[in-house]
Amino acid sequence: MKFGSKSLKLMAAAVGVALMGSVFAGCGGSGSGSSDEIKVGANFELTGNVANYGSASMDGLKLAVKECNDAGGINGKKINLVSADNKSEASEAVNAATKLISDDSVKVIVGPAVTANVIAESQVATDNKVPVIAPDATSPDVTVENGTVKPFIFRSCFIDPQQGTVMAKFASENLKAKTAVIYVDNSTDYSKSLGKVFKEKFEAAGGKVLDQQAFVAKDTDFKATLTTLKAANADVIFVPAYYEEVGKIVKQARELGITCPILGTDGWDDPKVADIAGADALNNTYFSTHFSDKDDSVKGFIDAFNKEYGHAPNVFAALGYDAGKMLIDAITRAGSDDPEKIRQALEETKDLKVGTGTITIDKDHNPIKPAVILENKGGDRVMVAKIMPE
Amino acid sequence: MEVLQQVLQQLINGISLGSIYALIALGYTMIYGIIKLINFAHGDIYMVGAYIGFFAITQAHLSIVPSLLISFVVTGCLGMVIEKLAYKPLRHAPRISVLITAIGVSFFLEYTSMYFVSPTPRTFPAMFGDVAVSIGGIVINGQQMLILGITAVLMIVLTYIVQKTKTGKAMRAASFDVETAQLMGVDSDRIISYTFGIGSALAAVAGVLVGVYYNSIDPLMGIMPGMKAFVAAVLGGIGILPGAVVGGLILGIVEALVSGFISSTFRDAAAFAILILVLLVRPAGIFGKDVKEKV
Amino acid sequence: MKSLRRNDLVMLGIGIVIFAVLQVLITERIMSSFWQLNVIIIGINVIMAVSLNLINGYTGQFSLGHAGFMAAGAYISVVLTTFFHVPFALALIAGAAGAGFLGFLVGIPTLRLRGDYLAIATIGMSEIIRICIMNIDYVGGAAGFKGIPHNTTFAWVFFIMLFALFFIKNFVNSDGGRACLAIRENEVAAESMGVNTTKYKVMAFTIGAAFAGVAGGLFAHSFYLISPNSFTFMQSFNYLIMVVLGGLGSITGSIAGAFVVTFISAALASWPEFRMIIYALALILLMFYRPQGLFGYMEITDYGPFRKILKKGGRDDG
């Protein structure tokens, strides 16, 4: 096929004009915004390495917003969700946040999913006094920096120390484990800091961590490192990581003949883990998460999500939905779309019913909520413990 | 576990990982050999192949062999179409422009797939029960052996095609000099198209097998294996079929040993370091002939 | 020579006028902060593209590891400003020196390789740099380096960019630059004419890497946080795309390439689902339409109206 050079010139010109148009639209059309809508920005990983996590959270958020708009919006005002893609990269997260704030004049931003991207964004948001709700960033320094709370940054998930403590306690008390090995995802703050907390608490409880190994997100073959971990012959393996790798790790660990319990965290909470690893391999594994899908109070959310998207929500989607709920509640109580008032309202969030349960925001801008520990058993998940934060 | 036992297990792990790299590298090296193009889209063709196989299994409810065949044929055609649309018009353009086009094709395949199938990973249903053999504590997995076997068979078949058949002869002629081959009566365009077809079909086989083996596929799954296959191809000497397989195996073993005895975070660095060291000693790869430039 | 100097002055004048206009747009807040940020990114990308062009376009060495040098410069400069409170300018210079030194070290052995073998070796080098940074907890490891002071302003970027452009333009027109061009055209012939090919290849590589280091420093100080993820080989591809799109061996081309690529990406920000698809199609179409890049080997000063303003010297009579 050969295009004539004329038609190509035309095409190039058309693309150019379209692009220029978008710039001027971006420059001129913003700022004012009609008064019967509230502009909310969504800055997520929609392309790039962790697009699957970002877009899942985005789906959850969209559902919360849709439910709110279908019910007539907030005081008659509809929420207008403006999305921006940060390409799974920190500098692009800053770029996207800047666009949302300056060109789209959003009043509040939800996202990104990954800790590093939220931290990069938080500076821009703080400078421009726009509140941020991070659905999935569990590292403590997302909301607190050098001991002071960042006034504009909130989150809808619990923080690493809570989960790490819960799992270390579970390993030593319930499973009576004396020794453990830790296998972390070296490319995320999430995994590294959970590994650290687990080691600390497990050793404080008298256990011994025999070995710590690391992998990098998007790895597919874990057998080499698992062979090393197998040689350590520990009572449990702790794998604080995300579902894509977790599924493969559990599968390959069992293939290598590792039979001990494998423990994990909320990154495991996705039906895909069972699909990838297979129900048999997944027996004798435990993970902490935000809710049990058997819980009656979360049935409503799960059904609604299923109806909208045709599959069950994973943890990212659930937390994105929670972030949406927090946002809607705060705007309602603020009674206006003034970012400062929304910020105050977010701080005062109390006993709010969200998708995964009921939350109250503490003084560090973290939600207070219980962690549940689920056991994978014969293709099903059974709740074995529900632990409130200390 | 004793050290020796661990080393042996790591070698097994390395060979099975390496045979996957080798399988992708075979197609890479064929295409490179004929038009000297670093086909950055190769990894993404592998991804498309995996998805076609996935949909054949889950949507059309076919078993593994027909699904592999469908993926083989469809992806092979896709490779030929891509060549015709994107690369052929640039046959006489600077090589670097073709390379940029290849990057463009790669982005296009990744993100159109992401648009249609969403970035969420998909999982293959269990196709066949997996048998694992344990010999003195060393575990060997049935699927690993299957992949290694298929790689070996494909390498032999391809070498036969390239060395003994008429098409193969034309391929080799075209890879020396496209224009001279044309003057000798070789339909270079057709030969290049075939090569792309075969190379892409091979990538599809790799995609489906890897999809079944790791049980998870996603639209960006091709980026790293594509890069690794390229490394494997260069390691063995670009354009040389057995070289690609040996390169892939070396890469796999190095990665397994580094992951096992140092840390898997340095795995990729070690793979690249080996590549650079080999190139410094043998600038054209292990099996490559260092052709002296004529003045 | 005289006409060259005069041309430099004219171009400097034009540069300052452009700077003044943009600076007014920024201080008067006519340009939104999103586009302000993107103007800065364009400037940084111009530095990256033009320095890569020196290696790929003028010297003909197919390097694909530019992001690695950028990472080195970025991390060196942020460690200095954040941990040791070194003045920004000094930190940038240190970043440039560090990246340049690294380029020198990497260049000596690898530049013996040719063509695609060099390409994969340089990708390998930049990945090794990135993976090493990822494993150093002192600089935040894979999660990134946090709390970087926000020092990069439009003025910094613009004047460093101008400096880079003039430096590379003058280098290309110097004896060293001629030697590089000779290497690009035919390495064997150049060598037999007495050009010390290794010396000039390494020289071009070092200069290119040093400017990538400066660009890295500027990049890091505009985003509060950098992570090794920002410097993958995909990023090196991006810079290569800018160079080829603009035209290998054209400084004007590198500016245009950096501008077009950054602009497309920013302008499509509102359509995240289609952004990469459209970008990919634009890339393929542009290569069909102009495989030699927008400018080929030409500079903007080679075109009609500019020839009249600037008395042409330099390039053509060399």
Q: What is the CATH number of the domain that holds C218?
A: 1.10.3470
Sequence letter at residue C213: G
CATH number at residue B133: 1.10.3470
State the residue range of the domain holding C76.
2-309
| pLDDT tens readout for residues C226-281 | 999 889 998 999 999 999 999 998 999 999 999 999 988 888 877 877 888 999 99
CA B5, B9, B14, B16 torsion-angle sign: positive
Q: Is the peptide bond before A112 cis (omega within 30 degrees of 0)?
A: yes
| pLDDT tens readout for residues A86-143 | 988 899 999 999 999 998 999 999 989 988 899 999 989 999 999 999 999 988 889 9
| Buried/exposed C182-199: b ≥16 CB within 10 Å, e otherwise | bbbeebeebeeeebebee
- Contacts of residue C261, Cβ cutoff 8 Å, sequence gap at least 6: C45, C238, C241, C242, C245
pLDDT at A32: 43
Which chain C residues touch A145 with a CB distance below 8 Å? 147
Confidence of residue A1 (pLDDT cuts 50, 70, 90): very low
Q: Indicate whether B289 belongs to any domain.
A: no
Sequence letter at residue C293: G
Burial of A120 (0-12, 13-18, 19+ CB in 10 A): buried
Q: Indicate whether B19 belongs to any domain.
A: yes
CB atoms within 10 A of CB A299: 11
DSSP C212: H
String of DSSP letters for C147-167: -------HHHHHHHHHHHHHH
Q: Indicate whether C59 belongs to any domain.
A: yes
Segment A14-36 shows an average pLDDT of: 49
Q: Determine, for residues B215 and A248 on separate chains, whether the beta-carbon distance falls below 8 Å.
A: yes
Q: Indicate whether B290 belongs to any domain.
A: no
Q: Determine, for residues A119 and C273 on separate chains, whether the beta-carbon distance falls below 8 Å.
A: no
Put residue A145 in one of left, alpha, beta given phi > 0 → left and psi -120 to 50 → alpha.
beta
Segment A192-216 shows an average pLDDT of: 93
Q: Determine, for residues C287 and B111 on separate chains, whether the beta-carbon distance falls below 8 Å.
A: no
- Integer Cα distance of C240 and C65 in angstroms: 10
| Whether the Cβ atoms of residue B137 and residue B4 lie closer than 8 Å to each other | no
Query: What's the whole-number average pLDDT of chain A?
Result: 88
Which chain A residues touch B268 with a CB distance below 8 Å? 216
Nearest to B137 by CA among A227, C133, A194: A227
Query: How many contiguous H segments (helices) and E segments (strands) does chain C have?
Result: 14, 0
Which chain C residues touch A49 with a CB distance below 8 Å? 229
**pTM score:** 0.89
State the residue range of the domain holding B244.
2-281
- Using the predicted structure, report yes or no on whether residue A12 has a pLDDT greater than 60: no
Taking a contact as any Cβ pair under 8 Å apart, which residues of chain C between 42 and 71 contact chain B? 56, 62
- Integer Cα distance of B254 and B249 in angstroms: 9
- Using the predicted structure, report yes or no on whether residue A23 has a pLDDT greater than 70: no
Q: Indicate whether B251 belongs to any domain.
A: yes
- Using the predicted structure, report yes or no on whether residue A347 has a pLDDT greater than 50: yes
Q: Determine, for residues C272 and A47 on separate chains, whether the beta-carbon distance falls below 8 Å.
A: yes
Token pair recorded at residue C110: 């690898």
| pLDDT tens readout for residues C3-53 | 567 777 888 888 888 888 888 888 887 888 888 899 999 999 999 999 999
CA C104, C106, C112, C116 torsion-angle sign: negative
Q: Determine, for residues C116 and B275 on separate chains, whether the beta-carbon distance falls below 8 Å.
A: no
| Whether the Cβ atoms of residue C274 and residue C268 lie closer than 8 Å to each other | yes
Closest-CA distance of chain A to residue C311, Å: 32
Q: How many residues does chain B have?
A: 295
Q: Indicate whether C201 belongs to any domain.
A: yes
| pLDDT tens readout for residues B214-246 | 888 999 999 999 999 999 998 998 888 899 999
Residue pairs spanning A and B at CB distance below 8 A: 109
Q: How many residues does chain C have?
A: 318
Answer whether B262 touches C (CB < 8 Å). no
Which chain C residues touch A153 with a CB distance below 8 Å? none
Q: Indicate whether C193 belongs to any domain.
A: yes
String of DSSP letters for A90-148: HHHHHHHHHIIIIIS--SEEE--SSHHHHHHHHHHHHHTT--EEESS---GGGTEETTE
Residue of A nearest to C148 (CA): A120
**Alpha carbon of residue A27 to chain centroid:** 32
pLDDT at C308: 64
Minimal Cβ distance to B276: which of C56, C124, C240: C124
Q: Indicate whether C65 belongs to any domain.
A: yes
- DSSP, collapsed to helix, strand or coil, labels residue A74 as strand
- Integer Cα distance of A109 and A97 in angstroms: 8
pLDDT at B84: 94
CA A242, A244, A247, A252 torsion-angle sign: negative
| Buried/exposed C87-126: b ≥16 CB within 10 Å, e otherwise | ebeebbbbbbebbbbbbbebbeebbebeebbbbbbbbbbb
| pLDDT tens readout for residues B58-70 | 999 898 899 999 9
Which chain C residues touch A26 with a CB distance below 8 Å? 32, 34-35, 267, 270
Residues of chain B with pLDDT under 50: none
Q: Indicate whether B287 belongs to any domain.
A: no
Q: Indicate whether C318 belongs to any domain.
A: no
- Integer Cα distance of B182 and B191 in angstroms: 10
pLDDT at C316: 42
CB atoms within 10 A of CB A289: 24
| pLDDT tens readout for residues A212-265 | 999 988 889 999 999 999 999 999 999 999 998 999 999 999 988 899 999 999
- Integer Cα distance of A358 and A152 in angstroms: 22
pLDDT at C3: 56
pLDDT at A357: 86
- Contacts of residue C201, Cβ cutoff 8 Å, sequence gap at least 6: C59, C61, C107, C111, C180, C183
Minimal Cβ distance to A278: which of B121, B126, B260: B126
Order of strands across the sheet with A352-354?
Answer: A352-354, A357-361, A367-368
Q: How many residues does chain A have?
A: 390
CB atoms within 10 A of CB A147: 5
Residue A367 forms beta bridges with which residues?
Answer: A361
String of DSSP letters for B127-181: -SPPPEEEETTEEEEHHHHHHHHHHHHHHHHHHHHHHHSHHHHHHHHHHH-HHHH
| Whether the Cβ atoms of residue A228 and residue B261 lie closer than 8 Å to each other | yes
Number of domains present in the structure of chain C? 1
Segment A48-55 shows an average pLDDT of: 88
- Integer Cα distance of B25 and A8 in angstroms: 35
Answer whether C53 touches A (CB < 8 Å). no
Number of domains present in the structure of chain B? 1
Closest-CA distance of chain B to residue C164, Å: 24
| Whether the Cβ atoms of residue C277 and residue B112 lie closer than 8 Å to each other | yes
Burial of B107 (0-12, 13-18, 19+ CB in 10 A): buried
Burial of A196 (0-12, 13-18, 19+ CB in 10 A): middle
- Integer Cα distance of B141 and B162 in angstroms: 32
- Using the predicted structure, report yes or no on whether residue A9 has a pLDDT greater than 70: no
What is the ipTM metric for this complex? 0.88
Q: What percent of chain B has pLDDT over 70?
A: 96
Which chain B residues touch A233 with a CB distance below 8 Å? 1
Q: Indicate whether C52 belongs to any domain.
A: yes
Which chain B residues touch A214 with a CB distance below 8 Å? 263-265
Q: Determine, for residues A91 and C33 on separate chains, whether the beta-carbon distance falls below 8 Å.
A: no
Q: Indicate whether C314 belongs to any domain.
A: no
Q: Indicate whether C149 belongs to any domain.
A: yes
Order of strands across the sheet with A380-387?
Answer: A208-215, A179-185, A236-238, A262-264, A285-289, A371-377, A380-387
- Integer Cα distance of C92 and C153 in angstroms: 13
Q: Indicate whether B74 belongs to any domain.
A: yes
Nearest to A59 by CA among A352, A316, A328: A316
| Whether the Cβ atoms of residue C203 and residue C176 lie closer than 8 Å to each other | yes
- Integer Cα distance of B198 and B77 in angstroms: 9
| Whether the Cβ atoms of residue A125 and residue A153 lie closer than 8 Å to each other | yes
- Integer Cα distance of B47 and B225 in angstroms: 10
